[in-house]
Structure 1
Amino acid sequence: MAQLVEIGEKESWELLAERPICRVGWNGSDGPDVLPLNYVVFDGALWLRTSAHSALSQEIDDTQVAILVDRLDDDAEVGWSVQVRGVAEVHYSVDTVPPEVQNLQTWAGGARPLWIKVKPTAINGRRLSAD
């Protein structure tokens, strides 16, 4: 039977840095919302890009969000997940975005001129292993 174990903060950051996609959850105008987005980890924060007219950009500035990053193996029934909670901060100008983050590419096409920085207030990681 698989064992569920906590992952420490250091390993959680390492796992976050490995993956290109996260799920962002927030309380939107029509209730809870969740979207998959590309992201990058830099200097103790997660950075995302979005379009100027998205519900995400219009609803999350200076609000609490939850971010989930995971890697699962359905066949082996093992995997890990890291949940980040923090306050989203929308950056409207690339001039306020660190150069190390500016090359973040999104899988979705179209203009993504806005940046979202989430500085974690809590990080929780868990691993489901076959051991």
Structure 2
Amino acid sequence: MIMEQRLTAEERLTLKTGAFGAVFLVANADPGMLALFRESFAASGAMADSSGVVKEALTSGPLPKLPRDSALEIESVVLPALGRAVEILREKSPGDVAGYREVVLSAAERVAGAHRGVTPAEAAAIERIRGALDQPA
């Protein structure tokens, strides 16, 4: 049996960068001022549903620094962070891998549906997020 290991501050930040970045990536796919409030509220609900190591990583420590200049730049940080987060969890807390994927995808889907339904750009962003989370070991 594999024992859960404590995550370092850097590893927690990687999980947080992936999760918060995924939300930002979807929100940025179809930006709007009114939508921003609804989307933030929707994402926070999904994050609150997390537990264990994932909840600790998402609710403690500093906020991640995410690029804001372009969608491509955001993706270049967020998608690798999601893949790395899954690797970290596989190594240190395998029982939390599915929970992390579920929380990230739930938050992304809630953000996409929070304002006027899911747009094609948001759906495409969610598929890229899903792909990053499903990278083989």
TM-score normalized by the length of structure 1: 0.28
Which structure would you say has the larger Rg?
A: 1
Higher share in strand: 1
Higher relative contact order (CA 8 A, sep 6+): 2
Higher share in helix: 2
